[in-house]
Structure 1
């Protein structure tokens, strides 16, 4: 999540004896995810306009190659963002289904601090760490 975006929405302030993933927490994370989604969609639109506006047919092959490389980098970034929008949509569906905030592997609470840092997290830190260890062993 971009740092500039993180500062726009304050972290959730947990009250004493507050139940995990109550309506207020769900509303907070829904707002966080929806805002982040909109930022990404706006960025994609800006890229499309930039590429349309800046598309120049340079006679110099070096200038043309530089522009093509710049566009390729932007398109790769937008592809990552498109995949991230899909993850955000999946997280929003989990909120709708009252499954958000729980590990998809073991079922325990992911935790508010982890979700603030990574709102699309689907695994608790222990299961995620085990996955990474397995990936290293296989890769």
Structure 2
């Protein structure tokens, strides 16, 4: 049985938030993407990445500890299913790390917090919920509609 749990991205992000030493949340009364806000998001993104990497390290250690040894076929099938889910989760999180790295590069380039399509502010609420967001809600919805139309054709 896999002892590491396949944490949802939201749970991992919540854990990263709790690990931050500062007791600060960006606020709309501040200048948008002020140095304090950028520092918050940089720290959050780095903590999120660290949390993902720590979970991946636990999975790797378990994989290296040996093969599945259940003698009962049902137990073995269950363990293999659990491992499959765990490995898919780690793959999804590997892709998430590249998005986190991209967000960190946007902070350094002074582009973080602004829509890559419209150039408008993404908004603090959206960034707090999804720090790797690259588009405003409206631009994201339009993008998803276009994607759906092209898939349907």
- Match of residue 3 from structure 2: none
- Match of residue 122 from structure 1: 134
In the TM superposition, structure 1's runs of 4+ consecutive aligned residues that sit over 4 Å from their partners are: none
Q: Deviations over 1:56-106 (max 9, x none)?
A: 334444433332222111100000000001100000010011110000001
Q: Between Structure 1 and Structure 2, how many residues are aligned?
A: 138
Match of residue 52, structure 2, among 1, 16, 40: 40
Indicate conservation of the 8 Å contact 1:11/1:116, yes or no.
no
Match of residue 75, structure 1, among 78, 84, 87: 87
Provide the rounded CA distance (Å) in 2 between the counterparts of 1:127 and 1:137: 15
- Match of residue 138 from structure 1: 150
The Cα shift of 1:11 comes to 6.0
1:14 aligns with 2:22: no
Match of residue 87, structure 1, among 85, 94, 99: 99
CA RMSD between the two structures: 2.0
Q: Deviations over 1:94-121 (max 9, x none)?
A: 0011110000001000011100000000
The Cα shift of 1:137 comes to 2.0
Q: SS where residue 75 of structure 2 aligns?
A: helix
Indicate conservation of the 8 Å contact 1:103/1:122, yes or no.
yes
Q: SS where residue 2 of structure 1 aligns?
A: helix
Indicate conservation of the 8 Å contact 1:102/1:122, yes or no.
yes
Structure 2: gaps (5+ residues): 1-8
Q: What is the TM-score of this pair, normalised by structure 1? A: 0.87
Match of residue 117, structure 2, among 102, 105, 109: 105
